[in-house]
Copies of this chain bind each other. A is one copy, B any other.
Amino acid sequence: MTPDPRTATSRFDADALTGFAQALLVAASMPDDRARDVAGILVEGDLLGHDTHGLQLLPSYLAQIESGDLTVQGEPVVIADHGAALTWDGLRLPGPWLALRAIEVASARARTFGTGTVSIRRSHHIACLATYARRVAEQGLVLLLFSSAPSGSSVAPYGGTRALFSPSPLAIGFPTSADPVMVDVSTSITTNGLTGRLAREGGRLPGPWLIDEEGRPTDDPGVLVPPRAGTILPLGGVDAGHKGYGLALMVEALTAGLAGHGRSDPGARLGATLFIQVIDPQAFSGLPAFREQMDWVATACVENPPVPGGDRVRLPGWRGVSLREQQLRGGVNLRGSIVTELSQWADKLGVPLPLPMETTHD
């Protein structure tokens, strides 16, 4: 019997994958420099182990170039610029390219004014937030990155039953003397990714993290699948969900409010409203003082006595950084289902898929 390629895992050279993804995007009409940024961010998602936010996204990006929902030509429109604060209309241009440009500008402004903030309406999807956090932190800077999806709603306000918010993540990256810390958390108790996968597999969540359309707590992800109209609880869940609800409102104000674009705008398509802020510790008490404080905290975390049966306490992002280094050397793991989808686009656009370094079957 021939093994099913969809249940296999293949390892690919990271540079070869990036070149492949870039070539696919260029074949789909994206300018080369933008394609390089998008490919680099997607492959880095896989490198860091965020495989739901890596190359798995590329087929949808390619399809949206075809449908016109992802714009490839043109420049973002500068709506406002007040020194430390800029507002852009992203015109549905490639998210990773826009976000990296915004981070460049915000970093330069932060070097001058102490902080630099770029608010972006109508960005296309930006993939894995931690990839940006790592890049900024490695420059000795702090990144705050808040994102909301104006067309996505799977989370009700606490005490309510109708979906309103997206899981609306917030991310921070900051340097230490060791690896950078990269926090990337949704303001809901879980994400659309996990609930969607469990719903397909008939699985259950670890606790009553959802409510059905009547407001009854449940661990059954099936309540989220139409025609059911359940919702994901805010972070804090049944008991303390007012906190996640407050955080969702914070993300909403900093993204949709400042960008002047959001859920109130009809016909919003897949995309993101972004709040990108770079902070230069050198403009405050100095980078050495920042590192001294955060090194102390990082050490107090990793040396903290673990809970029974638990592993050593980790800093958010450190496992990803180490996995990235390992996969840069030894190859990037891609699930067979992703490889299969990429092969179809490779055939369609006439771009050869790189040969895997190794393929293993479950």
Contacts and interface: CB of A to CB of B under 8 A. Distances in A.
Interface of A: 79-80, 82-87, 112-115, 117, 119, 121, 142, 156-162, 164, 170, 172, 174, 181, 183-186, 189-190, 206-207, 209, 211, 214-216, 235-237, 239-240, 242-247, 249-250, 252-254, 256-264, 277, 279-281, 283-286, 289-290, 292-294, 296-297, 300-301, 304-308, 310-316
Contacts of A183: 246-247, 249-250
Given A115-B277, A159-B311, 20 more contacts: A82-B113, A84-B84, A85-B113, A87-B284, A159-B314, A164-B301, A164-B304, A170-B250, A172-B249, A174-B253, A181-B253, A183-B247, A183-B250, A206-B239, A235-B243, A252-B297, A254-B279, A261-B293, A262-B293, A263-B300
Number of copies: 2
Given A284-B119, A285-B121, A293 B260 contact: yes
A266 B123 CA distance: 46
A185 to B, nearest CB: 4
A294 to B, nearest CB: 5
24 contacts: A80-B285, A82-B114, A82-B280, A83-B84, A83-B114, A84-B84, A113-B113, A117-B279, A119-B285, A142-B257, A156-B304, A159-B306, A159-B312, A160-B301, A160-B307, A183-B247, A183-B249, A185-B247, A215-B307, A237-B240, A256-B293, A258-B279, A258-B284, A260-B286
Contact of A142 (B172, B240, B253, B310): B253
